[in-house]
Amino acid sequence: MPTRAVTPSAHARSAKRASLSQQYSLPESTPARGSATVTVFASPTSWIESDALAQCHQVAALDGMIHVAGMPDLHPGKGAPVGAAMASSVLYPFLVGSDIGCGIAVFPIALRRAVPEKLAARFPDLDRALDPEQDADDPAWAVVEGDIPAGHTEGLGTVGRGNHFVELARIETVFEPDHASRLGIAADDLVLVVHSGSRGLGERILRGHTAVHGAGPTPDPGSYLAMHDDAVRWGSLNRRLMAARVAHALGAEPTEPIVDLCHNLVEIRDGHYLHRKGAAPGDGRDVLIAGTRGTPSYLVAAHAGPDAGHSVAHGAGRKMSRADALRRGRAKHTVEELRRTPVGSLVVCGDRQLLFEEAPTAYKRIEQVIADLVDHDLATPVATTVPLVTYKTPTLGSTPQQDRRDNRRRQGRR
């Protein structure tokens, strides 16, 4: 099953928008082994690990698989590649993963002055969940309309760990002024970028499936999709709730998102199940493709066609495993260097290990990822956002002794 090399070509820019899965009749499960194709949308100079390519081919060999599209942020995941759109005639929950509904939303925010040092100290504790009863008077609840999906009240208003974050950023370069104007943004405007998922709900759904069926397909797609769609809605609601918490803490009014797309989901498209794991819907929609804490992110107009699984990259994509990033980061950086980025922004993170794991050097160059999307006519850059304050975890503080130990470790490994 060879990997098809892709050269830049013109894809149709108007693709029919996909809706939530329950709006379609379910495809018939017709397993067929050995017919799936694999396409990776990256240039020869892009950083694509062989393990990620191997995972793409392993997925392509599954019963019922039709096509696997790897994005330029492709990297190895737990059992399945991250940064891939995978079409099949049968539904595989493990191809979506445990964080169903994980996505990125962008909210305009109006502040009189944006001084990172002052604003970083005002971010709320997004590790502390909002309790519907005990925190009933919190003004952030105003963004919640109707019932909480699946009745899942655990973790409401929290960001989680890993690569999740809430970021205050500034619109820097605007490439498409007319498009940006339609979104209501311009250079120097401020936005909140929120990246988070379903905070345990998706994990519960996947665990319930794997306990019985392992990595196999679901025998009841309708039941899985109903739970899946609840998790997608929950993730979107939680991103709004976090943005509202931060806006109120910074003295601003919450706003509606101009972008809110999840990149871990499955939808029914052209009569098949289109699984996305770390791949954003790219069928005529606007997508925020996240960079790192020390680099810009890109707001793009996506226009990916069927060869790309109607998808685009969701971020820069990891270049190192967390273990490698931790080992190399401790030898190369100090905690202070990681809390103040090269672009002058501040990182709010009391988890020292997470700081190293999420260092900008652990990720691919976002510029190369965007260039690959442009070269393959999958997306058009609209604007860049540059971080001012990136929230990861509450600042727990560090002791001088801990900082000195980190400095000695770094100096000893040079």
Please give the positions annotated as active site.
314
Give the residue among 171, 157, 162, 161 at the shortest CA–CA distance from 106. 171
Answer positive or negative: Cα dihedral of 135, 136, 142, 146: positive
Which two tokens mark 35? 């017919």
User: What values do phi and psi take at 48, rounded to 5?
Assistant: -125, 115
Distance from first CA to last CA of the chain, Å, rounded? 44
Other beta carbons within 10 angstroms of residue 342's beta carbon come to 11
Give 312's strand partners: 280
Which two tokens mark 177? 């002024």
Distances in Å between the Cα of 286 and the Cα atoms of 4, 230, 252, 407 are 27, 23, 25, 43
**Helix (H, G, I), strand (E, B), or coil: what is residue 66?**
strand
Distances in Å between the Cα of 250 and the Cα atoms of 305, 363, 387, 388 are 40, 30, 16, 13
Which two tokens mark 201? 């709900």
Give the residue among 12, 21, 45, 1 at the shortest CA–CA distance from 308. 12
Q: Which is it for strands 264-269 and 272-277: parallel, antiparallel or unpaired?
A: antiparallel
Give the residue among 23, 314, 300, 360 at the shortest CA–CA distance from 180. 300
Give the residue among 265, 165, 134 at the shortest CA–CA distance from 205. 265
User: What values do phi and psi take at 94, rounded to 5?
Assistant: -70, -20
Distances in Å between the Cα of 214 and the Cα atoms of 79, 170, 185, 199, 219 are 11, 44, 46, 22, 12
Calculate the CA dihedral of residues 375, 380, 383, 387 and round it to 10 degrees.
-60
**Helix (H, G, I), strand (E, B), or coil: what is residue 78?**
coil
Asked if residues 199 and 230 have their Cβ atoms less than 8 Å apart, the reply is no
